[in-house]
């Protein structure tokens, strides 16, 4: 096994080195002068091509590996080792287990299912018939929310306000009994008008704190990662998410009907 890995690594390394020379030759032909304005763009293109070459080399050897896992490894090793392909191949072959492509496909299917649910449409007319006052209903903080609803709301607001700390977001949710609509309104009012100022204040700092209506918030210089939703989304959450996206239309129709 060791000799196989060593010969395999040498073969891969030779192939990648040849590809590097090819990319360099093609991107910088003899007597070609790269202007300063074009240098960064050309350099980025070379790096991107090289990373794709590395990815395909690894994927061709370990064909059942999750492609996201390979790219994560490349993001780590590309800048810290001379031969990332050899390093990653050896590391994966040494591992007892590693994420498989079948897991990647399952994850992708779940994400597509969740995205489809997030885009679910409701009829404004039916909504106004179902609830005597949809605006009051969706802003009602006294209603009990399920744990699934709370989790989905936390994920949505975290993804929407990536520069706010998770604790700041959860504190707002707690203050309104986890009601999504009023929490969304509070965060929008507190954060969006200050976003550019907070970015300037933060500068090179990790974070800065600010207050709005007696609540404390923390602005993060580096945005939080987007979090995935669970496979099965809470129906009440989906309905309220739709209301947030269509609040203006619902409000207009509701008050039109009241005047009839």
Domain-by-domain residue ranges, the chain? 2-94, 122-259
What residue has token string 């390093």?
A: 87
Distance of CA 2 to the CA centre of its chain: 39
Which letter, b or e, does each residue of 120-147 get, where b requires 16 or more Cβ atoms within 10 Å of its Cβ?
Answer: eeeebeebbeebeebbebbbeeeeebee
Tell me how far the alpha carbon of residue 145 is from its chain's centroid.
26
Q: Are the beta carbons of 134 and 128 closer than 8 angstroms?
A: yes
Q: What is the mean pLDDT of each run of 10 residues along the chain (260 residues)?
A: 47 51 47 50 61 87 88 86 87 84 81 76 78 88 93 95 95 95 95 92 90 91 90 88 89 76
What the block records as the tokens of 204 is 């090179």
| Inter-CA distances, 138 with 49, 125, 142, 181, 209, Å | 50, 16, 10, 6, 30
**pTM score, two decimals?**
0.61
Q: Please say whether the beta carbons of 13 and 86 come within 8 A.
A: yes
């Amino acid at each position: 096994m060791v000799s196989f890995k060593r010969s395999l690594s040498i073969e891969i390394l030779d192939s990648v080195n040849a590809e590097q020379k090819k990319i360099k030759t093609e991107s910088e032909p003899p007597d070609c002068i790269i202007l300063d304005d074009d240098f960064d763009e050309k350099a980025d293109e070379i790096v991107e091509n090289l990373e794709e070459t590395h990815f395909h080399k690894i994927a061709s050897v370990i064909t059942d590996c999750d492609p996201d896992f390979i790219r994560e490894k490349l993001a780590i090793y590309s800048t810290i080792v001379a031969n990332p392909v050899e390093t990653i191949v050896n590391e994966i072959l040494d591992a007892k287990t590693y994420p498989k492509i079948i897991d990647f496909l399952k994850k992708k299917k779940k994400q597509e299912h969740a995205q489809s649910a997030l885009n679910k449409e409701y009829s404004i007319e039916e909504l106004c018939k179902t609830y005597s006052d949809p605006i009051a209903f969706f802003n009602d903080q006294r209603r009990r929310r399920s744990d699934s609803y709370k989790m989905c709301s936390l994920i949505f607001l975290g993804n929407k306000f990536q520069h706010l700390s998770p604790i700041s977001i959860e504190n707002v949710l707690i203050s309104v009994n986890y009601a999504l609509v009023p929490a969304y309104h509070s965060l929008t009012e507190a954060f969006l008008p200050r976003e550019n100022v907070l970015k300037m204040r933060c500068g090179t700092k990790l974070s800065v704190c600010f207050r709005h209506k007696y609540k404390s918030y923390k602005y993060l210089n580096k945005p939080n990662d987007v979090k995935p939703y669970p496979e099965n989304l809470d129906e009440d959450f989906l309905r309220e998410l739709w209301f947030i996206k269509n609040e203006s239309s619902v409000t207009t129709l509701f008050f039109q009907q009241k005047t009839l």
